[in-house]
Amino acid sequence: MIRAVLDRLDHWSNRVAESLFRVATLGGLPALVALVTLDVVLRYVFDAPLRWGRNVNGLLLLITMFGALPHAWDRGYHIRMELVYERLRGRTRGWADVIAACSGVIVLGLLLVQAWVFVPYMARTGETGEELLVPFWPFMGFVGFCALVFVARLISNPQALPLVEHEGDELWR
Amino acid sequence: MALTAVGIISVGALLLLLAIGVPIALAMAVVGVSGLWILEGASAAMAHVALVSWTEGQSFVLVTIPLFVLMGQLVFHTGLASDLYATVHKWIGRVPGGIAITSVLACGAFGAVTGSSIATVATMGSIVMPEMRRYRYDTTLATGALAASGTLGILIPPSLIFIFYGVMTETSIGALFMAGVIPGILVATTFSVIIWVRCLLRPELGPRGPAVSWGERMRSLTGLLPILAIFTLVIGGIYAGLFTPTEAAGVGCAGVLGLAGGMKKLTRSNVARALEGSALVSAMIFAIIVGGYLMARLVAVTGLTELLVEQMIAMGLGRIAFLLLLVVLYLVLGAFLDVFGMLVLTIPFIVPVLNEMGIDLIWFGVFAVMMTELALVTPPIGANVFVMRRVAPDVPMGDIFRGVLPFVIGVLAVLALLTAVPQLALWLPGRM
C-alpha cells in the first residue's frame, strides 16, 4: 500500500519537476538573457532604459531558480562532504539519506506553509513591484508550489541519486 | 538557554550533519531554521525561510550567477575556444616544457570565459594530454600542470567563486573581478616559470616542440579572437564602467551566442545543453546561498560572531598570524569540502574578524579564492585531480598529486607576495 502510494508520488512529482525545469530552462533563463541585454542596448543606443527591468529580472530569476531546484536534486546537483558518506554502507547509509531528506522536508515544508500564508496576504494588500505594477502573489504561489514538488521529490528520491546521468553533468557539478 | 550555547550547539549539529553527508545547503538551512525556531519561535523561523528565499530569489546581483554560468556553458558546448591551444602552442611550444606552459596559458584563457575549473581541466586535458604523450613528456609533470592550471579559471575573471563571495560578503563583484586579474597573471606566470625551470634542469621532463615559422604564428592569432573578444567585452565593459557585472554577464551571453552563430558552431542541442547545465548549477548555488544566509542569521542572532571576534582579539593575533591560521584552516577544510562549502561555512564567522582587523574584504576575496584553488588540487578531494585521472587513466593518482605539488608551492608563494604587497590585488579595483 505504502509502496504504491510512493510510486505514484514519484511518478507524479518527477513529471511535474521536469515540467518546472523546462519552464526554467526554456522560459526563465533565455528571457533573463534577453531582458538584461535589451536593457543595456536600450540604455546605450536609445537612452531609454527599461524602468521595470530590474523587477522583471528579479521575477525571472525567481522562476528560474525555484523551477530548477527540484530537478537539480534529481540530477544529483548538490554538494556534500563525501569523505564519510562514501564509506557508509547498507542501513547506515540509508539512515544518512533519510536524515538528509528530512532536513530538506523540514526547510521546504516550512517554506511551503509560509508561502501558503503569504499568498492571501499579498493578494489582500495588493503587493506589487516598485516599478512594475504586477501582483506578486502568483509568484509567491509559484515558490510554494515548487517547494511542494521539492518535498515530494525528497520523499520519493531521498538518496538524490541521479535518475539519468547526462553527458557532462560531472563537469559542472 | 543562553544565546551563545544555542549557537555553539548549532555549529556542532551542522558539523555532524555535514559529516554524515547531508548536502551543505540543506544542512545549513535546517540548522539555521531550527536554531531560529528555538530562539524566536515557529512563526519567526518560517518567516525567515520565506523572506530569505523570496529576497535572494529576486536579487539583481544574483542574476549574475545564471548568466555567467550560461556564458561559460555556451563557450564550452559550442567549442568556441577549441583553437585556443593550437594558437598558444605555436607561440610557446618551442621553449623547454613548452607544451606544458601552453596548457597553463590556454587553461587560464579558457577558464576565464568558462569560469569552471573542472570543465577547463576536462577540455584542455583531453586536447593537451595526447600532445604531451606524443612529445614524451613526463606524465607526472604533464598531469600535474594540467590539474593545477585548471584552477586559474576561478581566479581570472569572470569567476563564479568571486560572484559567490561577493554575494555572501556584499562586496562589489566588479571590484573583485578586477582584483583577480593581477594575481591570476602572477599565478599563471609562476606556473610557467616552474615548468620552464624544471624542464631546463631536466630536459627529459618536457622536450621542446617543433619549430614554427613567424608567418604561421601570426596567422594562428585568429584562434585567440573569440576568447579575446568575449573577455574584452565582459571585463573591459565592467572596468570602463559601461556595465554592472549582471549586465556584463547578459551581454557576454549575447556575445557568445553571436560569435558562435557567426562561426556556425551554434546548434539547438548545444544551446539546450548549455541552458540545462546553467539552470542546474545555478539552482545548486542558489540553494547554498539561501542555506548560508539562514545559518548566518542564526549566527548573528546568537552573538557567536561577536564572541569569536572577542576571542580573536584576546588572543592578540596580528594580521599575518591570523592569515596563517586561515591558510591552515582552509587547507584542512579543503580536504573535506567543495569550494562553495568552504566559503559558505567560513564567511559568516571570518568577515566580522576581518573587519575588526582592518583587512580589506576585496583583498581577502582574492586570498580566499586562491585558498579554494588549492583545495581543488590537494588530497583527498582534489576534484581537478580526479578529472585529470579520468583524462589519463594510466597515470596513478599519487603521481598526479605529486605532479601538482610544485604548483601548490607556487600558489602559496604568490599568496605570500600578495600578503606582503596587498596593492597587487587592490591596485586595479582602485582605478575603477
Q: pLDDT, tens digit, for every residue of B15-27?
A: 899 888 899 899 9
- Does residue A22 sit at the B interface (CB-CB below 8 Å)? no
- Does residue B63 sit at the A interface (CB-CB below 8 Å)? yes
Angle at B197 between CA B193 and CA B202, to 5 degrees: 150
Contact A168 B247 (CB under 8 A): no
State residue B432's pLDDT score.
Answer: 77
Whether residue A173 is predicted with pLDDT greater than 70 in this model: the reply is no
Among A30, A62, A166, the residue with its CB nearest the CB of B275 is: A30
Q: How far apart are CA A43 and CA B59, in angstroms?
A: 21
Q: Count Cα atoms within 13 angstroms, Cβ side, for A42.
A: 12
List alpha helices for B115-172, DSSP H.
117-134, 139-149, 160-169
Single out the residue of B355, B409, B343 nearest to residue B378, CA to CA.
Answer: B409
State residue B408's pLDDT score.
Answer: 93
State residue B24's pLDDT score.
Answer: 87
Beta strands in chain A (DSSP E): none
Confidence of residue A165 (pLDDT cuts 50, 70, 90): low
pTM of the model: 0.85
State residue A166's pLDDT score.
Answer: 66
Single out the residue of B204, B193, B71 nearest to residue B135, CA to CA.
Answer: B204
Q: How far apart are CA A95 and CA A97, in angstroms?
A: 5
Q: Are A126 and B45 spatial neighbours (Cβ–Cβ below 8 Å)?
A: no
Q: Which of residues 256-295 of B touch A (CB under 8 A)?
A: 272-273, 275-284, 286-288, 294
State residue A114's pLDDT score.
Answer: 95
- Does residue A151 sit at the B interface (CB-CB below 8 Å)? no
**Chain A positions in Cβ-Cβ contact with residue B242 (cut-off 8 Å):** 44
Q: Categorise residue B317: left if φ over 0, alpha if ψ from -120 to 50, beta otherwise.
A: beta
Whether residue A172 is predicted with pLDDT greater than 60 in this model: the reply is no
**Chain B positions in Cβ-Cβ contact with residue A99 (cut-off 8 Å):** 17, 20, 22
Let me know how long chain A is: 173
Contact A61 B26 (CB under 8 A): no
Q: How high is the mean pLDDT of chain A?
A: 89
Mean pLDDT by 10 residues, chain B (432 residues): 85 90 92 94 93 90 89 85 80 88 88 77 82 88 92 85 90 93 94 95 88 88 85 88 89 93 90 92 90 88 81 81 88 77 84 88 94 82 79 85 93 94 93 80
Instruction: Determine the residue of chain B that is closest to A118 in CA distance.
Output: B50
State residue B108's pLDDT score.
Answer: 87
Whether residue A171 is predicted with pLDDT greater than 60 in this model: the reply is no
Q: What is the pLDDT of residues B300-313, one digit of tens each?
A: 888 887 787 788 77
Whether residue A162 is predicted with pLDDT greater than 90 in this model: the reply is no
- Interface predicted TM-score of the whole assembly (ipTM), two decimals: 0.92
State residue A116's pLDDT score.
Answer: 94
State residue A106's pLDDT score.
Answer: 96
Q: Are B111 and B230 spatial neighbours (Cβ–Cβ below 8 Å)?
A: no
Give CA separation, B386 vs B144, B364, B369, in Å. 11, 28, 20
CA distance A81 to chain B (A): 5
- Pull the grid cell for residue B248: 556584463
State residue B197's pLDDT score.
Answer: 95
Q: Categorise residue A165: left if φ over 0, alpha if ψ from -120 to 50, beta otherwise.
A: beta
SS3 call for B143? helix
